[in-house]
Every structure is written in structure tokens, then in C-alpha cells.
Amino acid sequence: MKPKAVLIVCDGLADRPVKELEGRTPLEAVDKSSMDELAKLGVNGIMDVISPGIPPGSDTAHLALFGYDPFQVYRGRGALEALGGGFPVKPGDVAFRVNFATVDEDMTVLDRRAGRIRTELAAQLAPQLQNLSLPEYPDVKVSFLHTTEHRGALILRGEGLSRNVTDSDPGRTSSKVLEVKATDQSPEALKTAGILNRLTKKIHQILREHPLNRELAEKGAKPANCVLFRGAGILPPITPMTRLFNVKAACIAVTALVRGVSAAAGMELLNVEGATGTLETDVIAKAKKLVENFQNFDFFFLHVKGADNASHDGNLEGKMAMVKKLDSMVKFLLNNLNLEETVIALTSDHTTPLSMRNHSGDPVPLTIAGWGVLADDVNQFSEKACAKGGLGRIRGKDLMPILMNLVGRLKKFGV
């Protein structure tokens, strides 16, 4: 049997020097013996997930990590978000990330997340948005998908649509909901913008009359009386990595956008009880799911979001706790997988410095250990230590060929 490959991506884990840690990064400051053990066993390096200096998004980063050139294949966020939320997006569909939001009578945005409306409340609103056919556009099917809290997706299906349209989401409060505009003068873009502007009005009419919103308003809570569209996207024109490398692949992730990229790449999406995409997520449950399914797949993508959330919030303590938690997950995997029949890669999809509270384009550390690997003498998994390793500095899109080569899944180019 061929060895299997496991790719562990700790979202936003890499960092810059932190003042409170006397210039160390969280990875340098936290005692994390299992991650360091993996680095000791393996070959290490740093990786420009997109290209040097370019801050990756979650979508472009994962496209690169799965072996694609995001500059060539990225077609916006919307379709990936919808796919990750479970909607069977088809080629030609144009999809949008959607927020439930609170607006006043003037359509000025008061809260872009409708007070972070609870999932079960938003779920009561969603059924009203299932039949959004527009008489002006009889050939276009409109689908609304609610995922978690204020989040959802909108999918347009029909002839002559385009993703070349702007967002209705102004990106901040005290601004009016924006009119969607075509970014080129094609009939397709003009038509798509027209549909969205009609939908903004129609959905507002439906939601403001909804009994739940009246109830919320009476209680002094923020009603979810509007939706905001952003991130128009179509499916990326990619051949599934499962076909490119002839592997059965599993994705263990919660974040809809990341699940969407995984689905587009041909992976099967596994669900894990207790995995939440937050700092409270049950990382051992995720690792257990992988171990339980070890015989059923050739490649596993295991994604943990928490560290990124902590960095976005400037939450140093939370990030350090997350490093500890991730270390326990690596420990579980080291105890339950056999490195003589497995290659494990440990990395991050991008750096999210606590000091920036946003993604940066700094390279991320990378460890590859297990079957066929020529270990170097690095003995710590950190931004600095990995930079001295035997992998040197690679690009994100080269990681998958490197892993697939190690497990013997690549064909010779030439003879």
C-alpha cells in the first residue's frame, strides 16, 4: 500500500515579534513539544503561500496549498463560500457571500452583522428567502443559503450572468447599502447588477415585515432586516486535485470558505461533532476523525481556524492557548499514526500578526516529516527555526507536488 499524506493547516498561526513576548512569536514562546518533535523528525522550510510579500486570503491560500496557481484560477469568493455551505454550485452560477444586516429606513447600515444574530434565529428568517424569483428576470433562478449566525450565500443560476459586479456591502456602518454596479459594460454584468439591486429591495421588503424582526425590534435588539452582498464569484476552472494526483482526499474543516475550496478540489467533506471554527473547537475530535478514517483516504487536509480568530482580535492569550491546543492535536496524531506509512506536513495558510490584526504576506513555517523524508537538524517548529531547514524557501503551489512526490503519486515528466 502506498503511504498516505496528511496536511495540517493552522489558520493564521504564524506571527511577527510580539512586544509582550520580548520579541518572540507565539510559536517561539509557547512550550509545544509535539510540534517541535515533528520538526525534529522532519525537513523544514519557509513557504510563500502565494508569492513573496503577498498577503493571502483564505480562499487563494488554500487554492495554492492544494496545488493551483491562484493568480490563474481564482474567480472570486462567492461560489466557494456557497459550495462550502453545502450548495451544489454549478459552472456558470454566480454566487455571493451574504450577511444579514440591520439598516434604518434610509437603508443606512447600522450593523453589518445584525448584532451577530444567533444561528437559530437567522434560520427562522431564511425560509422566507427561498422563493425570490424576479418577474423581470424569469430565466434566472435565485437561491438563498443560510450557514451560521449572520452568514449565508446567494446563488444566481441562468444564462448571461457575470461576476464582474461590485458589492452592496459598504464594509462599514453609517454608510448606505451600496448600489451594485457592473465593473465592465457587458450585458451580462449589467444584468447581474440589475438583479442584485432588485433583490436588495425585495429582500428588505420581506425581512422588515417578518414577525421575528418585529419581535427583535420590540425587545430593543437589532432586526436582521436587510442582506448585504459581497465577493461575487464563479467556480474556479480547476481539475480536482484528486484526479490530478489520483488520490481519494478528505477535508476536515469547519470554515465554509475553506470547505468550499476543498470541495472544488475534489475532496470529500467530513463533519466533526465539536469542531466549531473558534478558539473553543475540539481539536482532538478532529484528529480522531482523521485517524478513524485513515484507511478510507490517501490524502487528508486538516484545518484548524482558531489561531487566526485570536490574531484578528489581537488576543495574545487566546493565540497562545491555541498553540497549546494545536500541539495536543499533533501529539494525538503522532501517537496514532505511523510515520513509516505516512507523510505529515504542518504549516499555516498565512501569517496573521497580532500586531496587524489581519493577514500579512510574511512566509509561513513548514515541516514535512515521515515516509521518505531526509530530516534536517531543525528542532523547533517556528518562523525562524524552520527558515534554517533543508526545504529552503518554497511556494505554496509547490507543496502538493512535493507531498505527492514523497508518497509516490507523481508520474515522470518525460522518460
What is the spatial distance between Cα 105 and Cα 159, in angstroms, rounded to a whole number? Answer: 34
Q: What's the Cα-to-Cα distance from 409 to each of 15, 342, 368, 397, rounded to whole Å?
A: 33, 13, 16, 16
Binder to a second copy among 21, 41, 54, 339 (CB under 8 A)?
Answer: 54
What is the spatial distance between Cα 77 and Cα 258, in angstroms, rounded to a whole number? Answer: 10
Residue 104, all three cell numbers: 434604518
Contact set for a second copy, span 235-274 (CB under 8 A): 257
Instruction: Output 127 or 372, the one with its CB closest to a second copy.
Output: 372
What is the spatial distance between Cα 348 and Cα 303, in angstroms, rounded to a whole number? Answer: 9
List phi, psi (to 5°) of 102.
Answer: -110, 125
Question: Which of the ranges 43-51, 111-119, 134-142, 201-209 carries the binding residues for a second copy, by CB under 8 A?
Answer: 43-51
Least Å from the CB of residue 315 to a second copy = 19
Closest of 413, 130, 91, 84 to residue 261, by C-alpha? 84
Residue 373-412 contact track with a second copy, rule CB under 8 A, x = bound: xx-x------xx--xx-xxxxxx--x-xxxxxxx-x-xxx
Give yes or no for residue 92 binding a second copy (CB under 8 A): no
Instruction: Output 320 or 406, the one with its CB closest to a second copy.
Output: 406
The DSSP bridge pattern shows strands 43-48 and 364-370 to be antiparallel
Contact set for a second copy, span 283-302 (CB under 8 A): none
List phi, psi (to 5°) of 10.
Answer: -100, 105
Instruction: Output 57 or 223, the one with its CB closest to a second copy.
Output: 57
Least Å from the CB of residue 12 to a second copy = 12
Binder to a second copy among 12, 115, 223, 231 (CB under 8 A)?
Answer: 231
Give the residues across from 300 on adjacent strands: 6, 250
Residue 133, all three cell numbers: 424569483
Footprint of a second copy (CB under 8 A): 16-17, 25, 46, 50-61, 70, 74, 77, 231, 257, 353, 355-356, 358-362, 372-374, 376, 383-384, 387-388, 390-395, 398, 400-406, 408, 410-415
